[in-house]
């Protein structure tokens, strides 16, 4: 009997313990379900926030791209406007210069017209006088050239005459005549000068050769061409070797 009672007590205790475990398990299950639901809710919220953030980021990126494009377009328009402004400024400057030139020409024309008016001459008479003046100027220029040639001829003839009559005539050259040696022939003892008949060189004219202000030699002109001449070293007057670039000046300059 006692054993039976013990078994019954044990069974009741086991049932009580099982019932308690069931309640405890159910509470844990309920807690886990609640935690799961909370985590799901948080995850959904997080994913929603993430999706919203991605959308905002994409939108911001689009706005940034559009802003950069607008900035590029604005810079291009600005550069174009600056270039156009430079062109207009240059054009305005050119027009201003042309206007000033035309104004000066107009003023000059007015002055000339006033001068013509004072003379009382007709336009045909003025043109005729202008043509005559131009022809006279041309003739004067020709006469000047002929006079220069004549003077050279007279100088050359005077030198020849002096040689014929055996006098100690000294050929004088222009005081401001200057030249340089462009070639040297030490074997035949002559030099070539870069000055000739056009510059006023005369035959038998003596010239001093110098370098850095120091006398090197004295030469005498023996042959003359239009733009150069040939001179020999005067005996006893070689003080050093002559080289290209040495300067030559008249030994007997005309006063």
Residue 87 reports pLDDT greater than 90: no
Confidence at residue 108, expressed as pLDDT on a 0 to 100 scale: 76
Confidence at residue 90, expressed as pLDDT on a 0 to 100 scale: 79
Confidence at residue 156, expressed as pLDDT on a 0 to 100 scale: 60
Spatial separation of the C-alpha atoms in residues 26 and 60, rounded to whole Å: 50
pLDDT digits (tens, 9 = 90+) for 25-36: 666 677 777 777
Axis-axis angle for helices 123-165, 2-119 (nearest 10): 80
Coil, helix or strand for 179?
strand
Confidence at residue 2, expressed as pLDDT on a 0 to 100 scale: 63
* From 86-90, 142-146, 175-179, the region with the lowest mean pLDDT: 142-146
pTM assigned to the model: 0.40
The number of CA neighbours under 13 Å toward the Cβ of 6 is 3
Of 214, 219, 253, 221, whose CA–CA distance to 236 is shortest? 219
Q: Tell me whether strands 190-193 and 229-238 are parallel, antiparallel or unpaired.
A: antiparallel
> Which tokens belong to 82?
């600056």
Architecture of domain 171-250: Beta Barrel (2.40)
Residue 142 reports pLDDT greater than 60: yes
Residue 133 reports pLDDT greater than 80: no
Of 188, 187, 181, whose CA–CA distance to 217 is shortest? 181
Segment of 112-126, 137-151, 168-182, 222-236 carrying the highest mean pLDDT = 222-236
């Amino acid at each position: 009997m006692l054993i039976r009672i013990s078994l019954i007590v044990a069974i009741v205790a086991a049932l009580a313990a099982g019932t308690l475990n069931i309640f405890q398990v159910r509470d844990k299950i309920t807690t886990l379900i609640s935690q799961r639901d909370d985590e799901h809710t948080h995850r959904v919220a997080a994913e929603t926030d993430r999706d919203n953030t991605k959308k905002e980021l994409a939108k911001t990126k689009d706005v940034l791209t559009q802003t950069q494009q607008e900035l590029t377009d604005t810079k291009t328009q600005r550069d174009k406007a600056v270039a156009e402004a430079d062109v207009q400024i240059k054009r305005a400057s050119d027009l201003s210069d042309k206007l000033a030139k035309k104004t000066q020409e107009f003023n000059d024309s007015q002055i000339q017209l006033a001068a013509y008016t004072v003379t009382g001459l007709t336009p045909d008479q003025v043109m005729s006088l202008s043509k005559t003046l131009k022809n006279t100027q041309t003739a004067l220029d020709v006469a000047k050239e002929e006079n220069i040639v004549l003077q050279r001829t007279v100088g050359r003839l005077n030198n020849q005459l002096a040689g014929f009559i055996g006098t100690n005539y000294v050929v004088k050259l222009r005081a401001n005549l200057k030249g340089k040696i462009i070639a040297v022939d030490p074997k035949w003892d002559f030099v070539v000068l870069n000055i000739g008949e056009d510059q006023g060189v005369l035959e038998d004219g003596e010239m001093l050769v110098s370098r850095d202000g120091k006398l090197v030699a004295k030469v005498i002109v023996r042959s003359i061409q239009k733009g150069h001449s040939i001179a020999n070293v005067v005996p006893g007057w070689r003080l050093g070797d002559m080289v290209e670039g040495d300067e030559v000046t008249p030994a007997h300059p005309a006063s």
